Amino acid sequence: METTIDWEALARAATAARSGAYAPYSGFAVGAAVLTDQGVVVPGANVENAVYGLGICAERVAIASAVAQGAKRIQAVAVCTDVEPPARPCGPCLQVIAEFADDIPILLLSTQGMRQLSSARELLPQPFSLPKPS
């Protein structure tokens, strides 16, 4: 199902999600929102932990929430940070995006209003993949 991307709605959802971030260690709050294959916008915020490796990024929270709600694919991602230029998704997040999408658009935005449109393949040109079992 092809869905038109409402970038403003995706940006608003990512920006709003950022306010729910739990980032007491880094102070680096991130909000994300994904557009599912069903046309639903699902937000996520980063959640840190005292054991640093147990934290989870906003993009992966949004994707996991979307999958838990029945999504099989995502069509777009927006990520909101308070730095300029806007921060990009980390490598693990890009790999998770690649699991649920092909070369999709990714909107990077800052709380100051700066926006950059990129793509999954521009940010991670050669994601890891395994052949699907038949």
The domains of the chain, with CATH numbers, are: 7-122 (3.40.140.10)
Amino acid sitting at position 107: L
Closest CA to 40 of 65, 15, 23: 65
Q: How confident is the model at residue 133 (pLDDT cuts 50, 70, 90)?
A: confident
Query: Where do runs of H (alpha helix) occur along the chain?
Result: 7-18, 58-68, 91-100, 120-123
pLDDT band for position 2 (cuts 50, 70, 90)? low
Q: Mean pLDDT in the chain?
A: 96
For the segment 26-44, what is each residue's pLDDT rounded down to a tens digit? 999 999 999 999 999 999 9
How is residue 99 written in tokens? 């699991």
- Residue 74: both structure tokens together: 């995502």
Give the active site residues.
Answer: 59
Output the pLDDT for position 1.
Answer: 47
For 61-120, how does the pLDDT look when each residue is reduced to its tens digit (9 = 90+)?
A: 999 999 999 999 999 999 999 999 999 999 999 999 999 999 999 999 999 999 999 999
